Amino acid sequence: MKVLISVDIEGVAGVVNPEQTRAGNSEYERARRWMTLEANAAIEGAFAGGATHVWVNDSHGGFRNLLPDMLDARANVILGKPRTLGMMAGLEYDPQLVFMIGYHAMAQSRGMLAHTINSFAFTHVKMNGRDVGEAGLYGALASEYGARVVLLSGDDVFAEETKPLFPEATFVITKHATGYASGSTLTPERACAAIRQAATDVATSHAGRDALQRATPRPVDIELRVQSTALADLFGQMPSLERVDGVTLRFPTPSVEHAVRTLNCLSAMSFMLR
């Protein structure tokens, strides 16, 4: 049984402020250690539940946050960018199960450190008319590759908005948001214990189950709202994007993968306006 673990930082226990998510300060160094500990808890639980192969995908910022020397040596670590599948790099290895650890709520929600892909550039993403955050986008990509999203962790707002997308998945709530940069959080030790146990349980329950087949890609329509008309002007240079109004663009794609890759390209483009 193969497991892919995608790990972000904003949903990690103890992380409540943007400074903790940005490299170059002591708060970040502490937070990346907590991120690594939660990743390690998920790895340990996956193996305890019967996994034979585990890949851990660093899915925050520049994708160079996890501390490999702290991780269970049985796992492989996916680091660095650019990468074709972004936060779901590792799907190429045909995992049966996907864990999303340390994830956060979508942009414009009340979740802690909430955003979608790029807080500087994007304010709203709709896929086939439905509001989605990173979990929704990348979970759909996992399904397209035939992988089941079975475990997710993050704050209570993230769990509430994401449960309808994965009704059979297990959620570990690491903290309760009271604002964008405030909330009540588990300690790292308690969060890791909860993640480890949940990972063991879900891996055990799926051991021996038949793998899903890769889905036939279906067309996906994306509507993207951005932070400024300058960004819409920039993104509108791509001929595949239709300008809807001052800050909204729309584009059709033949698959979820194409949608995710396009959004990640737009995110990278936005850096020229920073």
Q: What is the pLDDT of residues 149-192, one digit of tens each?
A: 999 999 999 999 999 999 999 999 999 999 999 999 999 999 99
Q: Which parts are annotated binding residues? A: 8, 10, 60, 104, 134
Question: What DSSP string runs through 227-265?
Answer: S-HHHHHHHTTSTT-EEEETTEEEEEESSHHHHHHHHHH
Question: What DSSP string runs through 36-103?
Answer: HHHHHHHHHHHHHTT-SEEEEEE-STTT--S-GGGS-TTSEEE--S--TTGGGTTGGG--SEEEEES-
pLDDT for residue 209: 79
Cα dihedral value 193, 194, 195, 196, nearest 10 = 50
In the chain, where the domains are located: 2-117+133-206, 220-273
Instruction: Give the model confidence (pLDDT) of 15-30 as tens digits.
Output: 999 999 999 999 999 9
Strand order across the beta sheet in which 220-226 lies = 130-131, 122-127, 220-226, 248-253, 242-245
pLDDT for residue 160: 98
Q: What is the mean pLDDT of the chain?
A: 96
Asked whether residue 210 carries a pLDDT value surpassing 80, the answer given is no
Rounded to whole angstroms, the Cα distance separating 224 from 263 reads: 9
Question: Coil, strand or helix: which one is 143?
Answer: helix
Angle at 213 between CA 211 and CA 219, to 5 degrees: 140
Active site residue 53: no
CATH top-level class of 2-117+133-206 = alpha beta
| Confidence tier at 270 by pLDDT (50, 70, 90) | very high
Instruction: Give the model confidence (pLDDT) of 225-255 as tens digits.
Output: 999 999 999 999 999 999 999 999 999 999 9
Q: Which parts are annotated binding residues for Zn(2+)? A: 8, 10, 60, 104, 134
Furthest C-alpha separation in the chain: 52
Contact in structure between 51 and 3 (CB atoms under 8 Å): yes
Instruction: Give the model confidence (pLDDT) of 67-114 as tens digits.
Output: 999 999 999 999 999 999 999 999 999 999 999 999 999 999 999 999
Asked whether residue 195 carries a pLDDT value surpassing 80, the answer given is yes
Asked whether residue 212 carries a pLDDT value surpassing 80, the answer given is no
Q: How many CB atoms lie within 10 A of CB 218?
A: 11
Residue 206, H or E segment: helix 188-206
pLDDT for residue 167: 96
Active-site hit among 115, 124, 176, 206: 115
pLDDT for residue 216: 87
